[in-house]
Structure 1
Amino acid sequence: MKIGITGTGSYIPTVTTKNEDFLSHNFLDTDGKDFAHENTVIIEKFKAITGISERRYAQPELNTSDLGYLASEKAIADAGINKEELDYIIFAHNFGDLTPGKIQGDTLPSLATRVKHLLKIKNPNCVAYDMIFGCPGWVEGMIQAKAFIQSGMAKKCLVIGGETLSRVVDKHDRDSMIYSDGAGAAIIEANPNSGEILGHASATYANGEAYYLFFDKTYDEDGCSDTRYIKMHGRKIYEFACTHVPQAMKDCLDKSGTSIDEVKKIFIHQANEKMDEAIIKRLYRLYKKEAPEGIMPMSIHKLGNSSVATIPTLYDLVRNGELENHEVQKGDVVMFASVGAGMNINAITYRV
């Protein structure tokens, strides 16, 4: 029984924020003091490391659940299914709906339930729940959907990854330039005409690594001490990812019985261009090979890091021929791989 993707969709917000828009920000170090360098230098170094030149932010009237709904509508239409036939809606996110100007994330009801409501699905047997698994949440949702279908508990699932990280960043933290908003979705089902999940691997490292990404107050000592923002130990995350992700990807490939030479594209979480490049190089070194040119599509330059939304959005763009110099054909073997808060890692080997 082939279990795979029959439809994809994404929603890319319309508000473009460029690096130069941060020139007037008052960036502070972790101790609340000013940096020695001017913002022009900070931004130049940021772009050299991350590859990001601009990112997308959601319009104020749209929440994470709205972005997920808009991506889901496209995925359902692309798959050509009746939405009432969905058995599960799995929504991967980290912070719920974040209304501009409010200091709390809203997850009551779940975002998956909100999407089901917006889609006007009447079937009560369509179960909707949220996945909190850091940036690898959409990939993990795909793994769970496959398990449901393989066990006979479901026939069709909708898996969504969405985030509005622009609303949970500390404007005094230079890392705030990394984050962005967006949503991607996929229909997964048992279908002889679909692609096929060939194998997967997941891991959680929480013995010292659990709080590499965390919630904390602003770096501005005059700011509200009760409001929390996304924070990270960037160097530790970089080292962790380069050490552990390549091996997890190799484990995934080996379990699926797939050769590294068969892999046509690797859709890796768009976290940091230099980090992603290092991960791919190290993966190929494990096989004593060089990474092929063009193996890794990248959207981070224009879209930033939208967490769980990066992989489904990227795959949808390439699948529909909307990313220059990249395409996938029926029968191609590709990989999805991610790392993020938890610290969680996962990967999927997939035949298109």
Structure 2
Amino acid sequence: MHNIRSVFVATGSYIPELKVHNAHFLNHQFCEKDGSLVLKENSHVIEKFKEITEIECRRYASDDQSASVLGYLAAKNALNSSNIDKETLDYIIVAHNFGDVAKDSNRSDIVPSLASRIKRLLQIKNPDCVGYDLAFGCPGWVEALIQANYYIRSGDARRCLVIGTETLSRVIDPHDRDSMLYADGGAAAILEASTSGDAGIIAHKTQTHAIDHALLLKMDKSYHSDKSQSQNIYLKMNGRKLYEFALNQVPLVIKSLLDKAGVPLTDIKKVIIHQANGKMDDAILQRLFKLYNVEQIPKGIMPMTISWLGNSSVATVPTLLDLLMKNEIEGQAVTKGDKVLIASVGAGMNINALIYQF
């Protein structure tokens, strides 16, 4: 079975229509962790935020759209663009972290699973098509790919639909400056078994750093002391520590993967990385090349979407992949034979990476 490769045969995404520009936050009441008001003008806070993250705009789901709906629309896009028979899917793996969260509710709804909901929306009748969810922080979609790859290489599956979907706009504290990072979106890819050619997943690597870092991202109370919100919890992060963690650990995980696979860094044509923070992603790339004593980073090696889509957690990597494969990112393309590095880091703290050859 070891000659079987897992190849992308379809991708799809759904980018919500509602554009939320940075100016949207000009009238927000931002608070410090201790509940005191942020003293600096919001215009200054927003400008500093843009300088650090490169985010100018993000997308929010419409009021009637849930994470499962975004995932369904992305899956439908992948199926329609490939003419693949949905009844031939063996697995539907859905990466998310909060389930379906209704507008203004702030409550996770994960019964039934999003995978079952999406399978129902797709009207797939085949009971042998198994659907389940995966909660793994922002690296969830990449980890779901790794799981699908195992199913395919073992001979247990021929086709797997892997979806990443999230509505982070429903779980953020409007009084927290970090809320400007987050966005909504859904994206999907279909992996299929192949025994011809060299295309497919070459190798992968995952780590979980829990003892010292598990709580860098967590759910906690609002920074505002409004008693009516005391029962709600929101997505919170220790930004400075998270930045340091990612910068120190992600390049090492990627190097470990490349070395294990025997793939030189110079063979990598594109780096598709989780769109967490523009400056952080740039720093990770620079640190990675420094580990190999390579000073000149190839121009355009790391396509980015964060400036106009924000950080949609598990949806950022598959959305970027879909846009790249459909030639919808100006000046960016992949061609047959290209080796691409896909990597992510997020809550847990989890890091994963894989090498894919087109």
TM-score, normalised to structure 2, is 0.97
For residues 84-134 of structure 1, what are the alpha-carbon distances to aligned partners after superposition, in whole Å with 9 as ceiling and x for unaligned? 111110000000001002131100000011110001000111110000000
Shift of 1:273: 0.6
Do the aligned partners of 2:15 and 2:185 also contact (CA within 8 Å) in 1? yes
Residue in structure 2 matched with residue 272 of structure 1 by the alignment: 277
AA of the residue aligned to 1:111: L
Measure the CA separation in 1 of the matches of 2:89 and 2:214: 34
Measure the CA separation in 2 of the matches of 1:342 and 1:129: 20
Query: Of the candidates 290, 306, 321, which is equivalent to residue 285 of structure 1?
Result: 290
Residue in structure 1 matched with residue 45 of structure 2 by the alignment: 42
Do the aligned partners of 2:325 and 2:333 also contact (CA within 8 Å) in 1? yes
Please show how residues 250-269 of structure 1 align to structure 2 within 5 Å. 250-269=255-274
Shift of 1:79: 3.3
Structure 2 unaligned blocks of 5 or more: none
Shift of 1:65: 0.3
Shift of 1:5: 0.8
State yes or no: 1:67 paired with 2:70: yes
Shift of 1:193: 6.8
Do the aligned partners of 1:7 and 1:77 also contact (CA within 8 Å) in 2? no
TM-score, normalised to structure 1, is 0.98
Do the aligned partners of 2:5 and 2:153 also contact (CA within 8 Å) in 1? no
Please show how residues 128-207 of structure 1 align to structure 2 within 5 Å. 128-191=131-194, 192=196, 195-207=199-211
Residue in structure 2 matched with residue 120 of structure 1 by the alignment: 123
SS at match of 1:199: strand
**Percent of aligned positions that are identical:** 54
Do the aligned partners of 1:4 and 1:194 also contact (CA within 8 Å) in 2? no
Residue in structure 2 matched with residue 213 of structure 1 by the alignment: 217
Paired residues in the alignment total 352
State yes or no: 1:241 paired with 2:236: no
Shift of 1:166: 0.4
For residues 115-156 of structure 1, what are the alpha-carbon distances to aligned partners after superposition, in whole Å with 9 as ceiling and x for unaligned? 100010001111100000000000000000000111111110
Query: Of the candidates 226, 229, 233, which is equivalent to residue 231 of structure 2?
Result: 226
AA of the residue aligned to 2:177: R
Query: Of the candidates 313, 317, 341, which is equivalent to residue 311 of structure 1?
Result: 317
Structure 1 unaligned blocks of 5 or more: none
Between 1:323-332 and 1:24-33, the stretch displaced more is: 323-332
Structure 1 residues 140 and 23, CA gap change in structure 2 (3 angstroms) = same
Measure the CA separation in 1 of the matches of 2:327 and 2:23: 29
SS at match of 1:312: helix
Please show how residues 17-96 of structure 1 align to structure 2 within 5 Å. 17-96=20-99
SS at match of 1:81: coil
Do the aligned partners of 1:6 and 1:78 also contact (CA within 8 Å) in 2? no
Measure the CA separation in 2 of the matches of 1:74 and 1:306: 18
SS at match of 1:242: helix
AA of the residue aligned to 1:271: A
Residue in structure 2 matched with residue 327 of structure 1 by the alignment: 333
Do the aligned partners of 1:9 and 1:186 also contact (CA within 8 Å) in 2? yes
Shift of 1:168: 0.5
Measure the CA separation in 2 of the matches of 1:3 and 1:24: 48
AA of the residue aligned to 1:78: S
Measure the CA separation in 1 of the matches of 2:191 and 2:83: 12
